[in-house]
Amino acid sequence: MKQYSALTLITALAVCISQFAHAQGNKEAANFARQGAEASKNQDWDKAIDLFRKATDRDRKFAPNLAVAYQQRGFAAANDQKFEDAIRDFGEAIKINSRDARIYEQRAAVEMKMRDYDKALADYSELIKLKPNEVRYLNYRAYIYEVKDDVQNSMTDTEKVLKQDPNNQDAKTRKQRLEQKLAERMPLTPPPRPSSPKASPPAAKTP
């Protein structure tokens, strides 16, 4: 899984929004956010999530911080092979911020490791809605379709990849495999129909 600079992001969000909330007089929410940012720096994700949730309850402008904290705890859980925990945290992050492609991508990566291809397929489909021209997402979805033996949809996504990136080796190799599968599934050419006799056989002679 690709690692993102969410620590930097969560700190920046906390500081920026805390200053705004403080200016508006929401000192309690700002204080929770500052503590949450500190907990994030120390990678104490449970504490960070609890604090950012308290901040968000008092001021919805802190919701992005909470989403990133869930995302980071999910990432840490995935690295520890705690896949179910990771899926749960990524799901909470998506509930808060459903437009962040990175969260879907991280959750899909975990689902792939779990071989939960149906859920991974759904997440890559959401990613493609968010970023229709992202070759990586199309390539992964094409791969999943191939694993599920959905040759037609795999070929469709593979062709989209090759249209954007004609030299994409993964897509080129997959297309060869898919073409071979399609060829194997084509029905055999039926034998020619027997021709009708041109003349009636001679009648049997009577003694």
pLDDT value at residue 167: 97
35 touches 75 (CB < 8 A) = no
Report d(CA 111, CA 81) in Å as an integer: 12
Question: Measuring CA to CA, how many Å separate 185 from each of 68, 125, 180, 182?
Answer: 47, 27, 9, 5
- 155 is written with which tokens? 């070929």
pLDDT tens per residue, range 8-63: 444 445 444 444 444 454 899 999 999 999 999 999 999 999 999 999 999 999 99
Give the pLDDT confidence of 135-168 residue by residue, as tens digits. Answer: 999 999 999 999 999 999 999 999 999 999 999 9
- The structure tokens listed for 128 are 């493609």
* Cβ-contact 132, 163 below 8 angstroms: no
Among 64, 61, 87, residue whose Cα is nearest residue 11: 64
Length of the chain: 207
Cα separation of 67 and 104, whole Å?
12
> DSSP code of 121?
H
Q: Can you give the pLDDT at residue 1?
A: 43
Q: pTM (2 decimals)?
A: 0.77
